[in-house]
Structure 1
Amino acid sequence: MYVKVLGAAAGGGLPQWNCGCLNCADARAGRIAPMTQSSIAVSPDGEDWVVLNASPDIRAQLAATPGLHPRGLRDTPVKAVIVTNADVDHIAGLLTLREKTGFDLYATAYIHATLHANRVFDVMDRGLIPRRTIALDTPFTPVPGLTLTPFAVPGKVALFLEGDSVGLQEVGEQTVGLMIEDDMRRVAYIPGCAALPDWLLDRLDGIDLLLFDGTVWENDDMARTCTGQKSGARMGHLPMQGAEGSIARLSRLNARKMFIHINNTNPVLQPDSPERAALAAAGWEIAQDGQEIMP
C-alpha cells in the first residue's frame, strides 16, 4: 500500500491567510514548514490512486505530487475521491475537480445529501463523476486491491449546517473514519474526531498505521493564542493533551501514530516546543505535506 500526505493542516492551512500568530509568522518566514489543508492519497500499486478528502488546496497538492499528474492529454491517475465529512476544508476542493475528467465520488448518504442540496456542486458532471453511496461498517473497493470500510466517529455537523443547537459528539454518517486495507496492512484515517470512547479504541486494535485528528493541543489553544474564543470541543475536535486526550486514550495502540489536520495555532508545530517533545516521547509523529508514509 502506498500512502502519501497531500496536506496536513486543519482548515485555513499554515500560514492561515489572515493570521499573524507565532506559527503562521514562522511559516511565512520559512522557519517552520507550511502546510496545506488535510488530505491524503492511497494506492495499492502506485498507479491508481484514491484521494481522501478534497481540500480547498487540492490543485496545488496534485501539482506538487508527480505520481498524481496526468499521464496523457486529458487524464488522471485519481480514480476515486472519498469524503469523510461535509466540512468546507474537505469538500471545497471538489469544485476544482470539475474539468470533465471522470472519477468516482464516495460519501455517506448524509454527506451526499449535503452536496446535493448545494447546487454549486452540480458543476461536477454526474455522467463523468458518479456519486456512490457508502454505508457504515460496509467494506467497498474503490480500486482493485484496496478495501475501505467507513465507520462512525463522534463529531459534529459542518459549521455551515449548524442550527440553534449543536450536538458536539454525535455518532452517525456526518463524521466517519476510514479503515484502509490491502493484503498486508491496515491503516486508519480519522481526520476529525470529538471523543475516543472504548468502542472506537477497540476498532483500532491491530492496525499498522493511524492518521488521527491533531487539531488542538489543549482545548483552549485559540484562547491561549488570542486568535479566537472557540474551544477544540466546540469545533468538534478533542485535544492531544490530557487524561481524555488522544495521546493518553490511544496509548495502548501498538501502531505507528501520526497526527494530521493540525490547526495553525497548535504549539506542536514548533519543533523545539515542550509540547512537541512530549508528543515525540509518547511515540507520535506530525504528518507533513508531501510525506510518503508507505511503503
Structure 2
Amino acid sequence: MTFRAQILGAAAGGGLPQWNCGCENCNLARSGAIPAQTQSSVAFSANGKDWAILNASPDIREQMARTPALHPTGRRELPLRSVLLTNGDIDHVAGLLTLREQQKFELFATGEIHQVIADNPIFAALNPAFVTRSQISLDQEFELAKGLTAKLFAVPGKVPLYLEGDSVQTDLEGEQTVGVHLSAGGKNVFYIPGCSTMHTDLHARIDGADMVLFDGTLWRDDEMVIAGLSQKTGQRMGHMSMSGPDGSLEAFADMDVKQKVFVHMNNTNPVLRPTSEEKKQVEAAGWTVACDGLELVI
C-alpha cells in the first residue's frame, strides 16, 4: 500500500498571481519568472485508485484537469470518492459549485461547517441524490476513501471572513477550523492548512508523524502591512507565520516529523520565489515548500 498526497493548489485564497495584486510575487508570476500557484487543495489516496480531496478550491476544475489520477475512468466514472472541508473559507468551499454536475461523492465536514454550507442556498446545487453530506464529530475515526481513514481535530483559528462580527476571536478552538489526521498502511499524516497558534496539545498530537502539511500563509506576521497591501497581520487572519519566536519553524524545531511541508502560502510570501533567502532558510530547516502538481509518497 502506497500513501500518496497530490498538491492540487499550494496558494492561499486569491492564488498567485492574485487578480488585483501588483506585489513583487504576483508581477513575477504574471511574467512567468516564478511559477503561478492555484488555491489551496490536496488530494490523498491509499491505493492510487480511490481519492479524497481535502478542501474544494475555486480552481478545482483546472486542478483536476491537470491531475491524471483524478481523470474520469468512464463516461461518468471518477476515482474521486469524497471531499472533506477543514473550514468554511471561500477558498475551501467555492469549488463545491464546480462539483455539482450530478457526480456521486461523499462530502465530509463537522456539523458547524456543514451548517455554513446549508445556510447558503446556492449550495443546494449539490444534488442530494448524488452528494451525501456526512457530519463528522471531532476525534471520530471514519473512512475517507478505500484504505484511508481520517480523524478531525480542533486547531486554533477563526470563523470565515464573511461570518466575522464586530469582535473576532483568532484562537477559537471548535468545529469551525479543524486539522485532519490521515492514516493508511501504518503511516500517519496531518493536514493543517490553517492554524493561529501551536498549543502544547497540538504539538503532542503531531509529534512523531510521518508527514505534516502545515499552514504556510505568511513568512512574517506583518508581511502584508509592510507590503502596503493590508492592515491585517497574520495573527488577525488566524494564521501562524513561518518565522519568528512564535512561528512554525520554531514550533517544529524539536518535533520528530519525517516530512514537513508548507501549504497555503499567501501571494506575498517570499518563499514562493525559488531563489529567495527565505526559501533557503525553510529548506535548511528540513521543510518542503509545496507547489502545484507536487506529488508526495509516504
Normalising to structure 2: TM-score of the pair? 0.97
Partner of residue 278 from structure 1, selected from 278, 281, 285: 281
**Match of 1:224?**
226
In the alignment, structure 1 residue 56 sits paired with structure 2 residue 58? yes
**Match of 1:211?**
213
**Match of 1:287?**
290
Q: What is the count of residue pairs matched by the alignment?
A: 295
In the alignment, structure 1 residue 108 sits paired with structure 2 residue 76? no
Root-mean-square deviation (CA), in Å?
0.9
Secondary structure of the equivalent of 2:212? strand
Q: CA deviation at 1:227?
A: 1.4
Secondary structure of the equivalent of 1:188? strand
Q: CA deviation at 1:272?
A: 2.2
Distance across 1 between alignment mates of 2:273 and 2:189? 27
Q: CA deviation at 1:218?
A: 0.6
Distance across 1 between alignment mates of 2:132 and 2:39? 25
Residues 96-155 of structure 1, C-alpha deviation per residue, up to 9 Å, x if partnerless? Answer: 000001100000000001100000000000111010011111110022211101010000
**Match of 2:36?**
34
**Match of 1:70?**
72
Distance across 2 between alignment mates of 1:291 and 1:49? 16
Q: CA deviation at 1:184?
A: 2.7
Partner of residue 82 from structure 1, selected from 70, 81, 84: 84
Residues 7-57 of structure 1, C-alpha deviation per residue, up to 9 Å, x if partnerless? Answer: 000000000011111101111111111100011000111111000000000
Distance across 2 between alignment mates of 1:271 and 1:183? 33
Partner of residue 264 from structure 2, selected from 254, 261, 265: 261
Secondary structure of the equivalent of 1:97? helix
Secondary structure of the equivalent of 2:261? strand
Distance across 2 between alignment mates of 1:253 and 1:260? 18
Secondary structure of the equivalent of 1:42? strand
Structure 1, unmatched stretches of 5+, are none
Secondary structure of the equivalent of 1:179? strand
| Percent identity for Structure 1 against Structure 2 | 51
Partner of residue 132 from structure 2, selected from 85, 108, 130: 130
Letter in 1 for 2:174: G
Distance across 1 between alignment mates of 2:103 and 2:140? 28
Q: CA deviation at 1:88?
A: 0.2
Q: Which moved more, 1:102-111 or 1:218-227?
A: 218-227
Normalising to structure 1: TM-score of the pair? 0.98
Secondary structure of the equivalent of 1:45? coil
Residues 157-213 of structure 1, C-alpha deviation per residue, up to 9 Å, x if partnerless? Answer: 000011111111000000000010012311100000010011100000221111000
Q: CA deviation at 1:230?
A: 1.1
Q: Which moved more, 1:275-284 or 1:238-247?
A: 275-284
